[in-house]
């Protein structure tokens, strides 16, 4: 079965007496046990819930994992991963990660006596050099957020395993529809399911999946012990969102490719980054390890003021953190999703302050192109706008 079929074809209500076509929401904290000494299948929803179980079985199946766990948010999922690392050891993390992940690693883990080091994971030699005797876990995003750098997952898995450490991949940008880190050798795959897996900006959720029985046991223990599991209603919403993942992403990345090509030809922009562009430094590697480039594009205008004005001049892109929803969004990562990274660290990591992140939705691409075109010509310098005028004809803006 191909993944688009698996998304809608799954056992949605195992053991339910009435065979409902859609998974019921078991909105209950407790389950009556058959006797004082012997339990039924479930006893307490923090430990297990039938709606969540259907979701987790489906997530494991989509990732090619044996086990998956769903959490109240992506950060709760990443928090559970960090619990795999004992006090006194070290995590090696990518140096371009979601801002909230950086906050957890830099401000919470030191309190638990876990050290964190950072490396550019798109450079396998740099990672090899940074692994130390106490390193237990390598945490990678590819493409990274927000710079869209691509890391070689098969090479990193080989390196990690040669050194006896675990590789965890935050695959939020691509979902199992486009990339399967476990098949490339990763030990753990993480998602902020708030993004594409949900697809509608209507809940937060997180996922961890693995093929290892031992890691699964530890994750289940942490999820129960810390009470971070996804609630039944949110599990139900996520199950519904996942069904349309393939159609949404197909449309979103087709739109994103057209928009990235348009932006890359725009003379007023100083940089445009999208793994689907042939001139992206990670393009070939990305095409080898993923089935598509996703729908997030980064661009630079040369000044923070111009970037802020550009984002504000857009009419079809809402100014919103996050991404992965059906509607297009625009943001300034250094002021929004990555503001928790201190300015000096952003500078040291060459994270441009004028970076604009566009998350492309399922709208008609001609409307999105026309909106970008009007915003760019309003915001960028007049001489640049004149030069960019023929762009409108080139992209075929259409009246409706």
Ligand X SMILES: *Cc1c(COP(=O)(O)O)cnc(C)c1O
List residues with catalytic annotation: 46, 98, 170, 195
Asked whether position 45 contacts ligand X by CB under 6 A, the answer is: no
Widest Cα–Cα separation across the chain: 80
Q: Which of 73, 273, 289, 298 binds ligand X (CB under 6 A)?
A: 73
In whole angstroms, give the CA distance from residue 236 to residue 77: 18
Q: List own/partner pairs for 25-28 with CB under 8 A and 24 or more apart.
A: 25/51, 25/232, 25/233, 25/236, 26/50, 26/51, 26/232, 27/232, 27/233, 28/232
Place of tokens 């675990």: 166
| Contact between 261 and 19 (Cβ < 8 Å) | no
| Contact between 163 and 131 (Cβ < 8 Å) | yes
Asked whether position 331 contacts ligand X by CB under 6 A, the answer is: no
Residue 187 or 373: the one with the smaller Cβ distance to ligand X is: 187
Asked whether position 236 contacts ligand X by CB under 6 A, the answer is: no
Q: Which of 51, 135, 172, 222 binds ligand X (CB under 6 A)?
A: 172
Asked whether position 192 contacts ligand X by CB under 6 A, the answer is: yes
- DSSP designation for 194: T
Asked whether position 145 contacts ligand X by CB under 6 A, the answer is: yes
| Contact between 340 and 278 (Cβ < 8 Å) | no
Which of the residues 248 through 287 are near ligand X (CB under 6 A)? none
Q: Which of 10, 26, 42, 98 binds ligand X (CB under 6 A)?
A: 98
CB 173 to ligand X: min, Å: 6
| Contact between 221 and 80 (Cβ < 8 Å) | no
CB 389 to ligand X: min, Å: 36
| Contact between 354 and 300 (Cβ < 8 Å) | yes
Residue 145 or 264: the one with the smaller Cβ distance to ligand X is: 145
Residues in binding contact with ligand X, number by CB under 6 A = 15
Asked whether position 74 contacts ligand X by CB under 6 A, the answer is: yes
Asked whether position 170 contacts ligand X by CB under 6 A, the answer is: yes
Asked whether position 377 contacts ligand X by CB under 6 A, the answer is: no
Asked whether position 75 contacts ligand X by CB under 6 A, the answer is: yes
In whole angstroms, give the CA distance from residue 42 to residue 107: 36
Asked whether position 206 contacts ligand X by CB under 6 A, the answer is: yes
Asked whether position 70 contacts ligand X by CB under 6 A, the answer is: no
User: Which residues of the shown chain bind ligand X in the complex (CB under 6 A)?
Assistant: 73-75, 98, 100-101, 141, 145, 170, 172, 192, 194-195, 204, 206
């Amino acid at each position: 079965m191909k993944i688009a079929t698996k998304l809608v074809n799954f056992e949605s209500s195992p053991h339910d007496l009435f065979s409902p076509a859609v998974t019921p929401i078991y909105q209950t904290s407790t389950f009556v046990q058959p006797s004082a000494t012997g339990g039924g299948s479930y006893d307490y929803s923090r430990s297990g819930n039938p709606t969540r179980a259907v979701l987790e079985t489906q997530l494991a199946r989509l990732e090619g994992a044996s086990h998956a766990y769903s959490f109240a948010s992506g950060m709760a999922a990443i928090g559970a991963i960090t619990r795999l690392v004992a006090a006194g050891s070290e995590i090696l993390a990518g140096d371009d990660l979601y801002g909230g992940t950086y906050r957890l690693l830099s401000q919470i883990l030191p309190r638990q006596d876990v050290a964190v080091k950072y490396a550019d994971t798109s450079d396998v030699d740099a990672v090899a050099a940074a692994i130390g005797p106490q390193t237990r876990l390598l945490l990678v995003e590819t493409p990274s957020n927000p710079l869209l750098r691509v890391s070689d997952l098969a090479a990193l898995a080989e390196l990690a395993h040669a050194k006896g450490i675990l590789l965890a991949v935050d695959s939020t940008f691509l979902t199992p529809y486009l990339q399967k880190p476990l098949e490339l050798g990763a030990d753990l795959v993480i998602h902020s399911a708030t993004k594409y897996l949900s697809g509608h900006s209507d809940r937060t959720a997180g996922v961890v999946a693995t093929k290892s029985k031992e890691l699964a046991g530890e994750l289940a223990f942490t999820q129960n012990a810390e009470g971070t599991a996804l609630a039944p209603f949110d599990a139900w919403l996520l199950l519904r969102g996942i069904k349309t993942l393939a159609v949404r992403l197909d449309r979103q990345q087709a739109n994103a490719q057209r928009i990235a090509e348009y932006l890359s030809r725009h003379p007023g922009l100083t940089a445009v980054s999208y793994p689907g562009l042939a001139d992206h430094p990670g393009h070939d590697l990305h095409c080898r390890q993923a089935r598509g480039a996703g729908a997030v594009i980064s661009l630079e205008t040369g000044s923070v003021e111009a970037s802020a004005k550009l984002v504000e001049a857009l009419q079809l892109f809402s100014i919103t953190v996050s991404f992965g929803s059906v509607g297009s969004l625009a943001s300034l990562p250094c002021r929004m999703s990555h503001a928790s990274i201190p300015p000096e660290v952003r500078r040291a990591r060459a994270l441009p302050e004028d970076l604009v992140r566009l998350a492309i939705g399922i709208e008609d691409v001609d409307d999105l192109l026309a909106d970008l075109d009007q915003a760019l010509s309003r915001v960028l310098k007049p001489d640049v706008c004149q030069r960019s005028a023929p762009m409108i004809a080139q992209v075929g803006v259409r009246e409706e």
